[in-house]
Structure 1
Amino acid sequence: MDNQVPPRKVPNFCSIRYGIALLLLLCNVIIMSQRVCMSLTMITMVNSTEPHGLSNTSTKEPQENIKNPVYNWSTEIQGIMLSSIFYGILISQIPAGYLSGIYSLKKMVGSALFLSSLFTLLIPLAAEFGEALVIICRVIQGLFQGIALTTQQVVWIKWAPPLEQVRLTSLSLSGLLLGPCVVLLITGFICDSLGWPMVFYIFGACGCALSLLWFVLFYEDPKDHPCISKSEKEYITSALTQQNGLLSSLPHLFAWIFAILAGHMSDVFLSRNILSLLTIRKLFTLLGLLLPALFSLCLLYLSSSFHGTMIFLILANATGSFCMGGILINVLDIAPRYYGFLKGFTNVIGLTGGLVASTVTGVILSQDQDSPWLKIFFMMVANNVISLIFYLIFAKAEIQDWAKETQNTYL
C-alpha cells in the first residue's frame, strides 16, 4: 500500500512563484509608466503660446530650458507621438507569440524590458533632434513592450499550479493597472522639481535595473531554480501534470488582447483619416478570417513540436479577434436602427453554424480513421476564404436606404 503523502502546498508569502509574479507586476508597472508618461509630460514639452509646427527648436528662455526644453510641435504631431507606441505593440504580437516557443523566455522578457527602457532614456535626446526621432523611439518602445507583454504569459506554463493560475496571472497583470496610477502620482512632481526629461530618465533607469534583476532571479523551469525549496518544487511539478487548464486558457487570453488592439487600431485609422471606413472594415475582416486560415495550415504542416503546435493553435484562435474591427461591428455602420435585431439574427446563424460544424466534425472523426483532422481543418480554411471573398465583394459601410429613419411631415 502506497503511503506517500502528497506535496505540501507552500505558503504564498515565501514562495518563488509568487516572487516571479511580483517581478512581472513590477515589469508591467514600468512598461505602463514608460507608455503613459508622455501623455503628461507633453503638457510641459510643448509651448502652447507659440505658433505650432514651425520648427523643432525650443523657445529662448535659457534658465527654464535647462531642465524643461519646450518645442513647437503641432497638435497633429503630438497625437502621432502619443499613439505611435501602439503601432509597435501591434507589429510585435504575432512574432512574439511565435518566438516565445523557440527562444528563452528569460532572455526575451528581460531583453524586451531593457530595450524598452533604453529607448525611454533616449527620448529627451531624440526630442532635441526632431519629432521624427521621438516617433521612431516610441514605435520601437512599443515593439519591445509588445514582446514583453506577450511572452511573459508563457512563464506560467511551467510556474503556475492549476489552482493558482488565475491568482498568479492576475497578480502579475495588475501592474498594467497600477502603472498609470504611479505615473499620475509622481510625474507632475518630477516635472516641476527636476524637469520633464527626468521623468524619462527615472522610468528608463528603473526599467534597466529591473531587467538586470530579472536576469539574475528568474529561471524558466522550477527544477532549475537554485533557491526553490524541495516542497515547492514538488508541489508545482506534481500539480502541472494537470497543466491542460492553463494551456486551454491561453487562446482565449490572446484573443482578448487581439480584440483590444483591433478596436483601438480601427478607431485610430478612422479618427486620423488614414483609411476610409469601408477599407477599415474590409482590412480587419481580412485579417480576422485569413490569418486563422493561414495559421491552421501552419498547424498542419509546420508544427513539429509541442510548443510549435501550441503557438499555431493559439494564433489560429486569437487572430480571429481582428474581426472585432471588421465584420462584427459592420452591422452598426449599415443599419444602426435595426442593430439589436440584426445582431440577434446573425447570432442565431452563427450558433447554427457551430452546431452543424460540431456534428460534421463528429461524423468525420467516426468514419475517417486515416486523416480526419486534415479534412476538418481544410473545411475550416475553405469556409473562411469563401466567406472573406463574399464579404470583400459585397461589403458596405454606409447606412442603407432600407435602414434610414423616415420623418413624416404633416401639413
Structure 2
Amino acid sequence: MDQATSPLQNHKNGQMPFWKKRRNLVTLMVSLGYFNFYTLRVNLAVAIVAMTSSVDNTKTAEFDWDSKLRGIFLSAFSYGYITTQMVGGLLSTKFGGVKPMGYGVLLNACFTVLTPFAARFSVYLAIAFTVAGGMFQGISYPSTNAVWLRWIPPTERAQMSSFGISGSIVGIIVGYPVCGWLAKKYGWTYVFYVPGFVAALWSIIWLTHIAESPKEDVHISEEEREYIVSSIGSTTAVKTSFFSYPWKCIFTSMPIWAISCAHFCSNWGALTLLLQLPSYINDVFKFDIGQGGFLSSLPYIALTIVLQITGLLDYWIKRKNLLTTTQSRKLFSSLSALNRAIFMYLTAYSTTAVESIVYLILAMGLGGFYSAGFIVNHLDVAPQYSSLLMGISNTFGNVPGFVTPMVAGLLVQHKSAEEWKWVFIIASIVQLFGGIFYVIFATGERLHWAEIKPKDNEIQNPLFKNVQKKT
C-alpha cells in the first residue's frame, strides 16, 4: 500500500476516531455559524410582533406601524442580503471562506445590537441598519462552500453539509421560542441584544481557531491532512483573475439556472414560513407571542431530523453506487419540492390550529430532502467556482426574502384566514414549478468549462503535488 492512499484506508478502517478529525470540528463550527445566521433573522420575525402589538393586555405597542411598513421592515434584511451574495462568492473563491464568513457575521451582529437604538430614533434608520446587517450576512453565506471545498472530501460533502445546514434549523428552533420568551419577559430590545452578542462571540472563536485549509492548520494530524488533500484533488484549483472566470458559460448554463431556480422556489416556501409563521399564528389562531414562538419552532424540529437522515441516506447511496450523482440530486430535490407543494396547499384549506401546524410540520420537515439536492449541486458541476455559484444562486434564492413579506402585506389586510390562504397557495405553486424545472435541466456531472488539467492543479495546489510525489 502506498503512502498516498494509506490515509484513505485508515479512514475506512475507522483507525481515526471521529472526535480526532479536525474536519469534524470545522463542520461543527460551520453548523454553529449557520445557527447564528438564522437567529439573526428569526429575531426580526418575532420582534416585529412585539414591537407593533401588545405583548400582554396591560401594555400597548411601542410602534404604530401599518402592515405595509411592517412588510418593508421584514424585507429590509433581504434587500441587503441579496446585494452581496456574489461579492461573498468572489471573495471566498479567491481568498477562502473563513475570514469572509467570520467578519460578515461579526458585523451583522454589531448592527443587530444597535437596531433598537435606531428604531427609537427613526423607523427608517432601523430599516437602514437591518439592510446593513443583511449585506454583511450576505457575504458570509456563500463562504461556507469555500470551507466545504477545502476541508471536506467529496464523498462526505452532502453528509457534512446536511449537518452544517441543520445548525440553521436549530437556530430557528431555539430562536423562535427564546426570542418570544425574551420579548415577553424583558421586552423586545433583548430580541436584538442576545442573538447579536452570541453571534459576535462565535465570530471571535471562528476567526481565531479555524484555518482556511488543512494546509494552514497547525492542529490537524498529518494523516488527516494527506487524506483530505488526496481526496479533494483538483477541486482546489481556481483561476486567480476575476476577468478569467468563465462568466459567459456560467450565465448560459441551464444546469446553473436549474440550481438557481430550485433555490428561488425552495426559499419562497422556506422564507414564507420563517418570516410569516408567527404573524399567521397570531392573526388566525390568536396565540400570544410566547405560544406563537413555540409553535413556530415545531416545523424546524422535523426539518432537523430529516436533514440528518438525508445526509446519511445520500452517503449510503454513494457508498453502494445505487444512483448516479445526477439521479441522486434530482431525486432529493424533487422529493423536497413535491412534499412542500402538497402540504402548503393543504395548509391553505386547513380549519384548525392543530391541522395547520401538522401540515406545516410536514411541509418543512419533508422539504429537508433539498440538503442532498440542489443546495450541494454547485460542488458537483464546478467545484472550484462553487462559492461563486452559491453566491449567484443564493442571490436568486433570497429574492423571496423581500418579495414574500410584501406579498403577504398586500394580501393580508384584515388578518383573516381567507387572506392567509392565498399566501400558502402561491407558495405551493412556486414549489411545484421549481421541482419540475430542476428535474428537467439539472445535472450532477462536472461541466465542460469547469474541467481542470492535472498539471494546472499541481501548480495551483502545491499540497496536492506534495502528496503525489510521495506515491
Same fold (TM over 0.5): yes
Q: State yes or no: 1:18 paired with 2:10.
A: no
CA distance in 2, matches of 1:43, 1:317: 32
- Give identity over the alignment, percent: 27
CA distance in 1, matches of 2:96, 2:391: 23
5+ residue gaps, structure 2, are 237-249, 272-381, 401-428, 449-471
Aligned counterpart for 2:141 among listed residues 133, 149, 154 = 149
Q: 1:41 matched to which residue of 2? A: 47
Q: State yes or no: 1:80 paired with 2:72.
A: yes
Q: 1:402 matched to which residue of 2? A: none
Structure showing greater Rg: 1
The AA in structure 2 aligned to 1:156 is: W
Q: 1:166 matched to which residue of 2? A: 158
Write the deviation string for residues 347-402 of structure 1: whole angstroms up to 9, x where unpaired: 9xx88xx9xxx9xx9xxxxxxxxxxxxxxxxxxxxxxxxxxxxxxxxxxxxxxxxx
Write the deviation string for residues 189-209 of structure 1: whole angstroms up to 9, x where unpaired: 212222221121110000111
CA distance in 2, matches of 1:239, 1:97: 23
Q: 2:63 matched to which residue of 1? A: 71
Superposition pairs of residues 267-346 of structure 1, within 5 angstroms = 310=385, 314=389, 318=393
Asked whether the 8 Å contact 1:98–1:311 carries over to 2, the reply is no
CA distance in 1, matches of 2:34, 2:203: 12
CA distance in 2, matches of 1:93, 1:228: 31
CA distance in 1, matches of 2:395, 2:202: 35
Asked whether the 8 Å contact 2:153–2:228 carries over to 1, the reply is yes
Asked whether the 8 Å contact 2:82–2:395 carries over to 1, the reply is no
Asked whether the 8 Å contact 2:146–2:387 carries over to 1, the reply is no
Following superposition, the deviation at residue 19 of structure 1 comes to: 0.8
When residues 261 and 143 of structure 1 are mapped into structure 2, their CA distance, relative to the original with a 3 A threshold, is: farther
Superposition pairs of residues 10-409 of structure 1, within 5 angstroms = 10-47=16-53, 70-241=62-233, 243=235, 256-258=262-264, 260=266, 310=385, 314=389, 318=393
CA distance in 1, matches of 2:194, 2:387: 39
Asked whether the 8 Å contact 1:255–1:320 carries over to 2, the reply is no
Following superposition, the deviation at residue 104 of structure 1 comes to: 4.3
Cα root mean square deviation, aligned: 4.1
Q: 1:401 matched to which residue of 2? A: none
Aligned residue pair count: 273
5+ residue gaps, structure 1, are 50-60, 266-306, 326-338, 362-411
CA distance in 1, matches of 2:151, 2:387: 22
Q: 1:271 matched to which residue of 2? A: none
Asked whether the 8 Å contact 1:256–1:321 carries over to 2, the reply is no
Q: Which has the higher contact order (CA 8 A, sep 6+)?
A: 2
CA distance in 1, matches of 2:44, 2:38: 11
CA distance in 2, matches of 1:258, 1:319: 8
Following superposition, the deviation at residue 13 of structure 1 comes to: 2.5
CA distance in 2, matches of 1:227, 1:184: 36
SS of structure 2 residue aligned to 1:220: coil
CA distance in 2, matches of 1:195, 1:17: 40
Asked whether the 8 Å contact 2:39–2:171 carries over to 1, the reply is yes
Following superposition, the deviation at residue 168 of structure 1 comes to: 1.3
SS of structure 2 residue aligned to 1:72: coil
When residues 256 and 14 of structure 1 are mapped into structure 2, their CA distance, relative to the original with a 3 A threshold, is: farther
